[in-house]
Amino acid sequence: MNPLKVVIAGGGTSGHINPALAIADQIRIDHPDAIIRFAGTSRGLENQLVPKAGYDFTPIRARGLPSRINKAFFAAIADFFAGRAQSRRLLKDFRPDAVVGTGGYVCSPLVAAAASLNIPVLLHEQNAYPGRSNRLLAHRSSVVCISMPGAERYFRTKAPIVLTGNPVRALFFQLDQASARTHLGWTHEKRILLATGGSLGAQRINETILGLKDEPVFQKLLQDQAIEIHLACGQQHYPAIRAAAAGLAWLKVYDYLHEMPHYLAGADLVLGRAGAMTCAELAALGKPSILVPYPFAAGDHQTANASVFEQSGAAIRVANSDLNAAWLSSQLETLFGQPDLLGNMGRQAQLLAMPDAAAKICSSLYATIRT
């Protein structure tokens, strides 16, 4: 029997690449002899992350399509047709059983080429409000896998739409707070808030955390409870934030967290953005959160993600413009003063977790190949 052969595309950001890698890992678990090849741009993050994960990588031309008709628009159109031609050559030479796309502009030429060659296509969408590439490509796919309830209404396709969830690393389902705190050397008695704006940091979150030092409500909270805040402020902001935080014993500042799963697991509460993979990781850990959607995300998809968690009782959602130290002080007073409330939020978050997401996605993939 010939080994299973799959081509996967998804890139530009880790939010598209990590699910693609998780799907590839699951395929290898199910079919150890499978041959998997990734396609993406040479300038995208996938060019670094995919080879590091041990998968073959083929560069193709692609770029995002601007909303305005200008030089960049026509350059993107030219790259699409060039990338589709490259993808057709790749697919004819490699002869895969199926193609997987996890979003981002790099999927467009590959999926278009696969559809023209009658190769089955599976699309995976991470967000509650789907990205433009996946919305446009859905009608050319064999199956669409979504990660949050309600996303199906944005797709115009006759293909089956399956709720699978976002595939996250198994570690997120294995960690508990006690073991994470022991690993990090944290005391088990303190109330800990983890604040992070992602790998680049978020200036509004950084300013809000620093502003707590001037808030009477927060200062009283420090007197009444043992509280510690860990802030991942981003590398570009680190020197200024570290200097501003000097002398604040309750605040620990980092440029980047290399052990993010442990930090998330060890915290009592997380303050952060509402990217799809962040939300999936919070659900896997059963972690209560305050979500601050990035206001410039395409299609405002982070607000849609945060709304799913808010409506389930797993998170508090606050607009970026409404986040400030006074508001956060009040929230911390309420949440840290009511452990049962935090516990219930965590349980609601865990109900949103889908630990078998990668397996469900792959089952849908194999079904398209068999049919």
pLDDT of residue 298: 78
* Residues facing residue 122 across a β-bridge: 100, 143
Per-residue pLDDT of the chain (371 residues; tens, 9 = 90+): 789 999 999 877 778 898 999 999 999 999 999 999 999 998 888 888 899 889 999 999 988 877 788 888 888 889 899 999 999 999 999 999 999 999 999 999 999 999 999 999 999 999 989 999 999 999 999 999 999 889 999 999 999 999 999 999 888 999 999 999 999 999 999 999 999 987 666 899 999 999 999 999 999 999 999 999 999 998 889 999 999 999 999 999 999 888 999 999 999 999 999 999 999 999 999 999 999 999 988 788 999 999 999 999 999 999 999 999 999 999 999 999 999 999 999 999 999 999 999 999 999 999 999 76
Question: Contact, 357 vs 366, CB < 8 A?
Answer: no
Give the phi and the psi of residue 357 in degrees, each rounded to 5. -60, -50
Question: Which amino acid makes up residue 78?
Answer: A
CATH architecture of 5-166+354-370: 3-Layer(aba) Sandwich (3.40)
Q: Please provide the CATH number assigned to the domain covering 171-351.
A: 3.40.50.2000
Q: Dihedral through CA 257, CA 259, CA 262, CA 265, nearest 10? A: 50
Question: Contact, 268 vs 346, CB < 8 A?
Answer: no
pTM: 0.82
> Which runs of consecutive H residues, i.e. helices, occur in the chain?
14-30, 46-52, 71-94, 107-116, 132-137, 171-174, 177-184, 203-211, 216-224, 238-244, 260-266, 276-285, 301-312, 325-337, 339-351, 357-370
Measure the CA–CA gap between 326 and 159, rounded to whole angstroms: 48
Q: Name the residue among 201, 234, 277 with its Cα closest to residue 17.
A: 277
Task: List every span in the chain annotated with CATH 3.40.50.2000.
Answer: 5-166+354-370, 171-351
Q: How many CA atoms, within 13 angstroms, populate the side-chain half-sphere of residue 3?
A: 12
